Chain A
């Protein structure tokens, strides 16, 4: 064991609140979304052609669905869309105001560092590359998931109001295309979450405490 490190402040309460609130709200959005999907489990106008999807006519397990039936699921989905968007905007507002976006945003200059981190994880490089609050792969993942959140909201609006927001629906390729992307974003979120949780426990378990209490005593820097 090395010397015990001092606790450092790592996450502002806004970051912690929006993080955990998003976990709960997004779970509800996905569960009600899977119930909504059941009503028409394919993508494309009636009579085809249909988008390629491995989930055609799929029924998701009962435990994964929320709302009981289509109307119940719609009401959950449209109600939870408010806190999802509100927490997302609160988080983005905090990132911008605090300047913390600098430690999080993946930029072209991070490409090289991302490659080095990849080498390290693949055991092609012995020492951990130096990093700030987040390593370049984390920046890529966190930037990506924020973009994903934005796309979830935009595709959602395109499906919700395809006539009033026809420009948005058309931009996304039409009503059925918007449904298709809205649905695939779910699996990107699920993939991100599984990877994220595995890495928290495998690489930096102290970060879990930091996301709960704000205080961190792990092996990585808390500032750039």
Chain B
């Protein structure tokens, strides 16, 4: 109530009616918008629009800000974080019943479909680096990874001209991610079978996971079973729920 006299004084000094009307209109409009919007992902009215803008931002991220050659900063092994959280969407750690029978299927729009065992993958060129992991939640942690570059797989499966995307699928329930070809071909994008100089732990996606310091963590499919080359943009577990599709950093 203390501001009432102040408002009256203001009214005395200026033309009260229209100013007051303006203020009321502004305050009411703003308040209504805020009340409607609080804890609100846009609702039926705005959510599609927000997702459209998110696609525009994906385009900017992919076509303007992403460099196919710029390498992410690397760190020394001594700079590794004390911990790197892990998660999976299944209720328990996804494990293979028969790890020896596991194969990575490379299929879709390719001239040469492949079925690669872990030993096959380990015989291919190997990349290792220590980089900072960025989670969409805002946390980060430094860890080392080693594995085979996705570009080495592409060289061997020879995608058809029409192939513009890759869908990475997992055995962690229905978790998957869709990738643009340029990000997949980045020299630091790898299929990692090792972490911090050890075999990839089960909690982090054993036997094989996608890794790249150019993407947020949710784009890095763990527990890989297949990579499928497509001409249409594949969805993904979080992407289909509204997270940015490109997820590049």
Contact = CB atoms under 8 A, between A and B. Distances in A.
Interface of A: 20, 23-24, 27-28, 31, 36-37, 39-40, 45-48, 62-76, 78-79, 82, 160-166, 170, 175-176, 179, 201-202, 205-206, 208-209, 212-213, 217-218
A64 B39 CA distance: 8
Q: Which of B14, B61, B243 has the most CB of A within 10 A?
A: B14
A47 B81 contact: yes
Interface string B119-161: 0000000000000101111111110000000000000000000
A23 to B, nearest CB: 8
A73 B33 CA distance: 16
B13 interface: yes
22 contacts: A36-B138, A37-B138, A40-B138, A40-B139, A46-B81, A46-B141, A47-B141, A48-B82, A71-B41, A71-B243, A76-B41, A79-B50, A161-B248, A163-B72, A163-B134, A164-B65, A164-B214, A170-B73, A201-B6, A209-B19, A212-B19, A213-B22
A85 to B, nearest CB: 12
B38 A62 contact: yes
Contacts of A218: 13-14
A208 B23 contact: yes
Given A205-B10, A206-B14, A47 B41 contact: no
Q: Which of A68, A69, A217 has the most CB of B within 10 A?
A: A68
B92 interface: no
A69 B83 CA distance: 25
B33 A76 contact: no
Most chain-B Cβ atoms within 10 A of its Cβ — which of A36, A161, A165?
A161
A185 B241 CA distance: 30
B13 A39 contact: no
Interface of B: 3, 6-7, 9-10, 13-15, 18-19, 22-23, 26, 30, 33-34, 37-42, 47, 49-51, 53-54, 57, 61, 65-67, 70, 72-73, 81-85, 132, 134-142, 213-214, 238, 241-244, 248-249
A40 B136 CA distance: 9
Contact of A74 (B9, B72, B140, B244): B244
Contact of B41 (A27, A64, A72): A72
B249 A164 contact: yes
Nearest to A211: B22
10 tightest A-B CB contacts, nearest first: A72-B41, A47-B82, A205-B10, A40-B138, A39-B137, A71-B242, A46-B141, A79-B53, A68-B41, A75-B50
Contacts of A23: 30
A46 B85 contact: yes
A37 B51 CA distance: 21
Nearest to A24: B30
Contacts of B61: 161
Given A27-B34, A46-B141, A75 B54 contact: yes
Q: Which of B22, B26, B40, B82 has the most CB of A within 10 A?
A: B40
A76 B57 CA distance: 12
Contacts of A36: 138
Contact of B39 (A65, A170, A201, A206): A65
A161 B13 contact: no
Nearest to A28: B37
Contacts of B6: 201-202, 205
B191 to A, nearest CB: 19
Nearest to A201: B6
A71 B247 CA distance: 12
Given A47-B82, A163-B70, A166-B73, 10 more contacts: A40-B137, A46-B83, A46-B139, A67-B41, A71-B238, A71-B241, A78-B53, A82-B53, A161-B249, A218-B13
A164 to B, nearest CB: 5
A31 B50 CA distance: 16
A209 B15 contact: yes
Contact of B84 (A46, A161, A179, A205): A46
Contacts of A217: 13-14
Contacts of B57: 78-79
